[in-house]
Amino acid sequence: MNGGLIEDADMNQEEMRTLPTASFTFQRRISKSTRIIGTVAVAVLICSALGCRDPARDNMEAMIKRAQKQFSPGELQAAVASLCATNDSYVPVQDLPHEILSLSDTKPSHSLILEDKAGKRTLLVSWGGEMFSWGVGICPPGGVLVTNMAHARILRWSDSVFFFYE
């Protein structure tokens, strides 16, 4: 012993075998990360082979088809004109017009009004959750679409209506 430190010479073979070594810990970390990478790679290959799809995109596509069958962009604009004329930025889901609620079989998760620097307003209604959300943005007649969704994929139906998913 040397001042409380154990030197290799002071230890017998049994004691040395029971001590964890840095290389063993390093090997365990490499093999764990290798397993994670391998698992992700297998999942990607399976999804590619089976044609796995993004549920948010599927829901958005269904919403687009439903909207195009039931309404024109002008009808959706007219439906949201009164909401966009208020000074509120939050719109309770239960206050949304029938036209918006009928775009999906499920209740929207939230809705709000975005406003740009010029005062142009857009109603943004979203379904889904933190991951896999989809929805619609509609501005009133004569308005300009406003969005703050940097990561969303946006599909424009007209100058006044767009659909999104992320």
pLDDT at residue 23 tops 60: no
Higher pLDDT among residues 98 and 146, named by residue = 98
Among the listed residues 138, 134, 131, 137, the one whose alpha carbon sits nearest the alpha carbon of residue 165: 134
What are the start-end ranges of the E strands in the chain? 110-115, 121-128, 133-138, 153-156, 161-165
> Would you kindly state where each structural domain of the chain is located, as residue ranges?
8-50, 55-165
| Partners of 125 in the β-ladder | 111, 136
CB distance 155 to 135 below 8 Å: no
Among the listed residues 93, 135, 89, the one whose alpha carbon sits nearest the alpha carbon of residue 114: 89
Q: Which tokens sit at 132? A: 């896999």
CB distance 134 to 127 below 8 Å: yes
**What are the tens digits of pLDDT across the range 107-145?**
999 898 888 887 888 898 988 877 778 888 998 877 777
What is residue 71's three-state secondary structure?
A: coil
pLDDT at residue 21 tops 70: no
Q: How confident is the model at residue 47 (pLDDT cuts 50, 70, 90)?
A: low
* d(C-alpha 123, C-alpha 127), whole Å: 13
Q: Which tokens sit at 33? A: 């990360």
